[in-house]
Amino acid sequence: MSLKAKSVTGAFFNLSANGFAQLINFVVYAIMARLLGVEEFGLVAICLMVVDFCNLFVTVGISQNLIQRDKWDDDFASLSFWILIGVSGAIAVLIFLIAVPVAYYTYSELAAQLIAALAIIPVANGFRLVHKAKLEREFENKKLAAYDMAGVLVGGVVSVVTALQGFGAWAIIYGKIVQSVISTTLTCYKSSFSPGKVHDKRHLPEIIRFAKPLIAMSFINFFSSRTSNIIIATFLGAATFAYASVAKQGFSVINNLTFQPLNRIALASLARVQENRLHLAFHRIVSLTALFVVPIYFGIGAVAHPFIDIVFGDKWVQSAYLLSILALIAPTQVMAYYLPNLLISRGYPEQAFTLNIINLVVNLLIPLMMVPWGLVAVIIGWVIANYITVVLKFAVVKKHMGIGLIAGLKPTWPFSVVGLVMFGSVLYLERFDTLQLDNVFLELPALVVIGAVIYAGLLLLFYRKPTLAALTELKGAKVKKTPKPPFPPEEPSQP
């Protein structure tokens, strides 16, 4: 099999595993939301967010270096392995010394116990990552996908079973630990790499030099994408955080299932297109994304109440109002998502990092100013912040590449306008019970069908040309065999 074929196959299995994991995690998340109390559920979500942050220092940098090097060197890999073991062990110690006491005095004894138990996850990742990098270099993506799916599936079953047995918040923790341990065990067992004793540390400066900027960027991305979460958890409490977490869960799945596949097309296209055709390539990619992603965002927001009722239960009705508000960020997500990759594709990594800084500062300041008015105000502030960051980001891109805000608006505004009309129409039908359907299981599909008809009908009636152009681009993307992208996908700003 050629290198190109291996790359495409690897990307396929990565996306398949990601899609499967997203689906299983969403199902388990929904079941847990029904079984656990609001305060308990929010407490677990906060603990998981803390551990996700700690994981950044383990999962970013070293394994990427192993993958991109020209040749595999067992000495280099062994040094990387023991560094990861040391870092993950240090992270676990810091969790016990800092995160556990803070959780105890800020929230409760239960929160401290949950975070202490989750400290095993960074350690498991420390054992796994070098073995995983070895398998990725050998294009064993199918095996890795199977190991990840096995961990997700078994961990999900453990969470549901223990929750039904009355273990409460611990049910989710047990599932996460089992998932991590299974994935790590299978990966290490099947990898041909075996860490040895390190005698030569001459590669240490290279490892540190390569990892530092990646960790810094991941650090900024983490906080910029979770600013509202952190503010809500810090100032408004676990129960309030639970409502926000449920509202955002659907959008998290949408981001991973829509933006990531499209991003693989975008990265390859932007990196290889000629300079004089860059504007046109950006126009096509953004237009294609808007055609499909905008109606999904607006559609979920329009049917938020029956959707939340069916999936999570009626105790989460407050999350439905938040979900409807969050849907309004749809145009900003589409326009700004590819900008970091656009800059990177033309050799502007520092400017791409500047976009992340803009995200962090604006998404932190505005929601923080809204805290005195409560949860809904914080969410509204976060939506406003997204529109402000779009303007600022395009100002940076225009300065260096000549692509300004108009270049983002032009290919997306027809789909945003029609999506907004569809959103308002379906939301009106649902809120005023126009359909007179007492059964929520009948109401939800009816509203979805009506929304799809409105969206497709208005596009074909008023915006036929840009719609057909975007569909043509999709057809071309399917026909072309795109190589593996030269850069890892940029994480979308999660609502």
pLDDT band at 185 (very low <50, low <70, confident <90, very high): very high
Instruction: For residue range 312-323, list pLDDT tens digits in order.
Output: 988 999 999 999
Residue tagged 């079973």 (tokens):
161
pLDDT band at 493 (very low <50, low <70, confident <90, very high): very low
Tell whether the model's pLDDT for residue 263 goes beyond 70: no
Residue 492 to residue 495: CA distance in whole angstroms: 9
- Whether 200 is in a domain gets the answer yes
HSE-CB for 432 with a 13 A CA cutoff: 7
Domain end point (choices 189, 220, 251): 220
Residue 13 to residue 284: CA distance in whole angstroms: 26
Residue 331 to residue 386: CA distance in whole angstroms: 10
Residue 462 to residue 191: CA distance in whole angstroms: 56
- Whether 348 is in a domain gets the answer yes
- Whether 226 is in a domain gets the answer no
Note whether 141 and 279 are same-domain residues.
no
Note whether 462 and 327 are same-domain residues.
yes
- How large is the average pLDDT for residues 443-449? 95
Tell me the residue ranges of DSSP E strands in 96-243: none
Note whether 324 and 460 are same-domain residues.
yes
- Whether 216 is in a domain gets the answer yes
Range of the domain at 267: 236-479
- Whether 225 is in a domain gets the answer no
**Cβ density class 270-302: b for 16+ within 10 Å, e for less:** bbebeeeebeebbbbbbbbbbbebbbbbbbbbb
HSE-CB for 149 with a 13 A CA cutoff: 15
Task: Enter the tokens of residue 221.
Answer: 């991305």
Residue 108 to residue 315: CA distance in whole angstroms: 23
Note whether 175 and 147 are same-domain residues.
yes
Note whether 205 and 246 are same-domain residues.
no
Tell whether the model's pLDDT for residue 11 goes beyond 90: no
Note whether 245 and 128 are same-domain residues.
no
For the chain, percent helix, then strand, then coil, each to nearest 5? 85, 0, 15
Which residue type, as a one-letter code, is found at position 373? W
Tell whether the model's pLDDT for residue 480 goes beyond 70: no
pLDDT band at 306 (very low <50, low <70, confident <90, very high): very high
Note whether 153 and 263 are same-domain residues.
no
Is the Cβ–Cβ distance between 333 and 293 less than 8 Å? Answer: yes
Q: What local confidence, expressed as pLDDT, does residue 154 receive?
A: 93
Note whether 190 and 166 are same-domain residues.
yes
- Whether 382 is in a domain gets the answer yes
Note whether 198 and 140 are same-domain residues.
yes
Domain tally for the chain?
Answer: 2
- Whether 487 is in a domain gets the answer no
Note whether 322 and 406 are same-domain residues.
yes
Give CA angle at 129 (123, 132), nearest 5°.
Answer: 140
Instruction: For residue range 401-420, list pLDDT tens digits in order.
Output: 888 999 889 999 999 999 99
Note whether 361 and 424 are same-domain residues.
yes
pTM of the complete model beyond 0.75: yes
- Whether 79 is in a domain gets the answer yes
Note whether 31 and 169 are same-domain residues.
yes
